[in-house]
Structure formats: structure tokens, C-alpha cells
Chains A and B, each alone.
Chain A
Amino acid sequence: DQQVKQNSPSLSVQEGRISILNCDYTNSMFDYFLWYKKYPAEGPTFLISISSIKDKNEDGRFTVFLNKSAKHLSLHIVPSQPGDSAVYFCAASAHPPMDSNYQLIWGAGTKLIIKP
């Protein structure tokens, strides 16, 4: 049973528009959420995180929204740029990063394609 789901395998967005990547989770114990971006043949790069005490976190063009009641988070990229084309993974943890019980439960990823 997948605890973290990214239901869209791919998403195509026009350059300059907003990209919205979605992630749903089932475990109400998840307390910490991360988004990673991955280019082919490279390791995932951390983008942005949010803890359950917040419902929004913003960093430049990237904003993550958390809806705890719906167990849903989304990553907004605005404006979208060609370099944003990559696979985006959301991940969740019930413990903070330095906790010995820290584990990341991953979504399957969404491939974002930015069209010029």
C-alpha cells in the first residue's frame, strides 16, 4: 500500500506559466514533507520542505502548500522555466531528519516537461 502517492506520472506546462505538482499521503503520522527534483543520471536535489505546523512555505519560485485535513500537498513553480524540466519526487517522514527513526517514504515521481 503506497503511503505517498503522486498520481500524475507526467505533466506538461508552457514556459512562464504555473506548474502545480500534487502529492497525497495516507499516514496521518507524517510530520515533515520534502520535494526533490531529479535530472537524469543525477541524484535527487532537495528543493523545499514543510513541516506539519505550517500550511505554506515559499522559496523563490517554489511554494509548497500543505492541507493536513485532506492529506495533500502541492508544489507550485511560478513562472516555470525550461530548466525546471525534471522528475519531481515528494517524500514524507513521521520524524525530523536528525531523529534516529527518520525514514523517507517516497512518491513515485512526476515528470515535468516545460514547453518553450
Chain B
Amino acid sequence: GAVVSQHPSWVICKSGTSVKIECRSLDFQATTMFWYRQFPKQSLMLMATSNEGSKATYEQGVEKDKFLINHASLTLSTLTVTSAHPEDSSFYICSARGQDSYEQYFGPGTRLTVT
């Protein structure tokens, strides 16, 4: 089956620093990748959608200059949280979808703690 990995699984950073989270599709080509943020009631909020080689499409209310998304290849997308603040502390999940496929495969998530 299709596997999506995320790295790191857990990261602590200081306020004001930047942190990069990687999302990889291990056994398929992901033409589209999605980034989600999990909130305390456990639902996932879609932050942005990225298509390989194109700029990401951000959902309303998500700061594109703060959450930089790069989808440079068919197997890798990165989310960089710039100038992190404690309120950015959350659980970030990516998912990936192959070309001509409606199925989405989710990564295991990355716990970000900003101190």
C-alpha cells in the first residue's frame, strides 16, 4: 500500500527560529500534497494544497509567509514554519495523492513544540 512518511516526528524549537518538516511519499508519485494542522478537538484543518512544481494554494486565514510550502519533486513536500511562536505549537499532518487518484494517504504527523 501507499506509504507517506514525515520527518521529524517530533521537534522542539525556540521562539523566533524556523523549523522545516518533510513529507515524503515512499512508493508512489504524489502530484498533490496537503498540509493539515490538528486542533485540540482532534479535527484536522487544511492549511494548504500543493501541486508538484507549482506554488501552494493556502486556505483562508493561513499566512503564506509564515508557513512556507515547497513541493519540488513528486515524492517530497516541505513545510517550513518561519519565526515560530508558541501558538504555532501543534501537530502537523501531511497527506499525498497520486495523479488521477482520489485516494489520499496520510503521514504519521509531526509534533511541533515552540518554547
B44 contacts A103, C-beta separation under 8 Å: no
In Å, the complex CA distance between A44 and B109 comes to: 14
A20 contacts the other chain (Cβ, under 8 Å)?
Answer: no
Task: Give the Cβ gap from B105 to chain A, nearest Cβ, in Å.
Answer: 7
Task: Give the Cβ gap from A57 to chain B, nearest Cβ, in Å.
Answer: 14
Which of B3, B36, B108 is the most central at the interface, judged by chain A CB atoms within 10 Å of its CB? B108
A106 contacts B46, C-beta separation under 8 Å: no
B106 contacts A103, C-beta separation under 8 Å: no
A36 contacts B44, C-beta separation under 8 Å: yes
Cross-chain contact of B42 among A97, A101, A108 (Cβ < 8 A): A97
A43 contacts B45, C-beta separation under 8 Å: yes
Q: How many chain A residues touch the partner (CB < 8 A)?
A: 23
B43 contacts A106, C-beta separation under 8 Å: no
A89 contacts the other chain (Cβ, under 8 Å)?
Answer: yes
In Å, the complex CA distance between A36 and B93 comes to: 14
Restricting to A58-72, which residues have a CB under 8 Å from any CB of B?
A: none
Contact with B along A23-65 (1 / 0, CB 8 A): 0000000000010101000111110010000000000000000
Task: Give the Cβ gap from A29 to chain B, nearest Cβ, in Å.
Answer: 14
In Å, the complex CA distance between A102 and B2 comes to: 21
- Which residues of A lie under 8 Å from residue B113 when comparing CB positions? 100
Task: Give the Cβ gap from A100 to chain B, nearest Cβ, in Å.
Answer: 5
**With A101-B10, A103-B9, A109-B103 as contacts: A42 and B46 at CB distance below 8 Å:** yes
Cross-chain contact of A34 among B2, B3, B42, B91 (Cβ < 8 A): B42
Restricting to B74-115, which residues have a CB under 8 Å from any CB of A?
A: 91, 93, 103-106, 108-109, 111, 113
In Å, the complex CA distance between A43 and B46 comes to: 5
B108 contacts A44, C-beta separation under 8 Å: no
Cross-chain contact of B104 among A2, A45, A46, A109 (Cβ < 8 A): A109
In Å, the complex CA distance between A43 and B113 comes to: 22
- Which residues of B lie under 8 Å from residue A102 when comparing CB positions? 91, 109, 111
In Å, the complex CA distance between A78 and B98 comes to: 33
**Residues on B facing A (Cβ under 8 Å):** 1-3, 9-10, 36, 41-46, 91, 93, 103-106, 108-109, 111, 113
